Amino acid sequence: MTRVLVIDDEPQIVRALVINLKARHYEVDAAHDGATALQLAAARHPDVVVLDLGLPDMDGVEVIRGLRGWTRVPILVLSARHSSDEKVEALDAGADDYVTKPFGMDELLARLRAAVRRAEPVPGGEDEVVVDTAEFTVDLAAKKVNRDGRDVRLTPTEWHLLEVLVRNTGRLVSQKQLLQEVWGPSYGTETNYLRVYMAQLRRKLEVDPAHPRHFITEPGMGYRFEK
Amino acid sequence: MTRVLVIDDEPQIVRALVINLKARHYEVDAAHDGATALQLAAARHPDVVVLDLGLPDMDGVEVIRGLRGWTRVPILVLSARHSSDEKVEALDAGADDYVTKPFGMDELLARLRAAVRRAEPVPGGEDEVVVDTAEFTVDLAAKKVNRDGRDVRLTPTEWHLLEVLVRNTGRLVSQKQLLQEVWGPSYGTETNYLRVYMAQLRRKLEVDPAHPRHFITEPGMGYRFEK
DNA sequence: CTCCGGCGTCAGAGTTCCGTCAAGGACGAC
DNA sequence: GTCGTCCTTGACGGAACTCTGACGCCGGAG
């Protein structure tokens, strides 16, 4: 769940934001002044910050600097001031976006979504998509299988089949489901394909292909991958 | 130097932007319609895009989608429309910011700076600028390849292809992804291009081009660069 | 016991995919 | 214009992959 930190000293604005955000399943923290805000940010590590520049205890830009000292969390600034200088100052201090009050809630939420989306790690980035077994390792992102320090070469079909099984580690995958995912939706009965390609996977990955430990056959039903 | 792509069909706006940006030492490309814009984006790989939604040939949101299909470059939208729906649509399509016309140049530039800053890689991040192999060295920042103490001459396309592969060292890069990143989003099936240019890269960089050790073919799937 | 269905194995045929070469065209430099 | 560089395109032989049928094994049912 995405966590939002709202910083504003006007209770009605905070209330409106909190209600709208919670309705959209965001987790919301709120602070009424800069000091509390910085503390909360450090404690809760929000995914995005909504900051009103007009705070009672400190300049909003100072809050931005305080945050930017240690985090790159997206900061969305709210302000009643339309002056161009204010915007430039806030943006150059490290804000990500600047919305002038009064603002439309739809727009604010859209900008919030944009800010959060941007901060997301690249899909297929460094996320750990590696599955380990005693004998081999499957890296789903790099499309690599390593066994005894060597890369194992898989054909597209073999890889596709392995992928479906590994993504369902421990679960039984029916023959029909495998056929449809690997060969396409119009397949479903060609179980001989499965037999051939399961055999090849086992030959390449199992220690003893005749007595598989990872690619288990469930007779009449399907196959199961076990670590 | 930061490269900006300006997309707008109003010459006076383009002129104003180009003058201001160049004065601040940005490198600027300009397009006056969506098709040219997508082409230019693919060819020039801008660091940030400024996009007017009102284009003669296609909907601005389509341009956003066209870009987002293959790149995460920051997109700053300009529009005369103040309607909230328009903003939400553009932002949800993948835009990073939305500025309504008439806009202050200072503010626009500040938002541009914010967008570029955000996109910067984390300082001290795991960005490898130089990649070494036993036989040659690729310097991604300097755009240079060195082999046996000599710089290897690569054509723009060869370099581009090499860059994509090296940035994904060890990972399989699909043919479609390579084509889209190097030749542009409208490509995806012209695998003969890949065959030709992979051969050229191998001829220039592999010890034995017929038995490549670094530029590995995964038949039916794509290519992989290995140190 | 025999029969039978489901599974594993193997090898060959057919098809797709890849590396290579060469020719043609676009473009800019001189 | 002429040259040189680079990109595109087509063609072809060979390699890799998928499909297909045949066969044997095994366990359960009759």
Q: pLDDT-derived band of residue A177, with 50, 70 and 90 as boundaries? A: very high
Give the nearest chain B residue to A126 (CA atoms). B126
Nearest CA to CA, how far is A129 from chain B (Å)? 12
Six token digits for residue A11: 């209770």
pLDDT given at position B124: 47
Tens of pLDDT, residues B143-191:
899 999 999 999 999 999 999 999 999 999 999 999 998 998 789 999 9
Q: Which residue of B91, B103, B167 is the best one to mutate when testing the A interface, meaning the one whose CB has the most A CBs within 10 A?
A: B91
pLDDT exceeds cutoff 50 at B125: no
pLDDT given at position A194: 96
Which comes out higher in pLDDT, residue A1 or B96? B96
Chain D: bases < 7 Å from a protein Cβ: 5-11, 16-22
Long-range contacts of range B30-36, CB-CB < 8 Å, 24 or more positions apart? B30/B5, B30/B6, B31/B5, B31/B6, B31/B7, B32/B7, B32/B8, B32/B56, B33/B7, B33/B9, B33/B57, B33/B58, B34/B7, B34/B58, B34/B59, B34/B60, B34/B62, B34/B63, B34/B66
Tens of pLDDT, residues A74-87:
999 999 888 889 99
Q: pLDDT-derived band of residue B35, with 50, 70 and 90 as boundaries? A: confident
Tens of pLDDT, residues B77-113:
999 988 889 999 999 999 999 999 899 999 999 999 9
Estimate in Å the CA A197 to C1' C11 gap, whole number: 15
pLDDT exceeds cutoff 90 at A1: no
Estimate in Å the CA A123 to C1' C19 gap, whole number: 32
CA distances from A185 to A23, A172, A173, A189, A225 (A): 38, 19, 15, 11, 22
Q: Determine the average pLDDT of the residues in A209-222.
A: 94
Q: Which residues touch strand C (CB under 7 A)?
A: A 175, 191-192, 194-196, 198-199, 202-203, 209-210, 217, 219-221; B 175, 191-192, 194-196, 198-199, 202, 209-210, 217, 219-221
Estimate in Å the CA B221 to C1' C10 gap, whole number: 26
Q: Determine the average pLDDT of the residues in B130-142.
A: 92
Chain B contacts of A122, Cβ < 8 Å? 72
Tens of pLDDT, residues B51-79:
999 898 889 999 999 888 778 899 999 99
Contact assignment for B221 to A156 by CB distance below 8 Å: yes
The lowest-confidence range among A12-21, A129-138, A189-198, B31-40 is: B31-40
Contact assignment for A144 to B170 by CB distance below 8 Å: yes
pTM: 0.70
Using a pLDDT cut of 90, give the percent of chain A over it: 88
Average pLDDT, chain B: 91
Alpha-carbon Rg for chain A, nearest whole angstrom, is 26
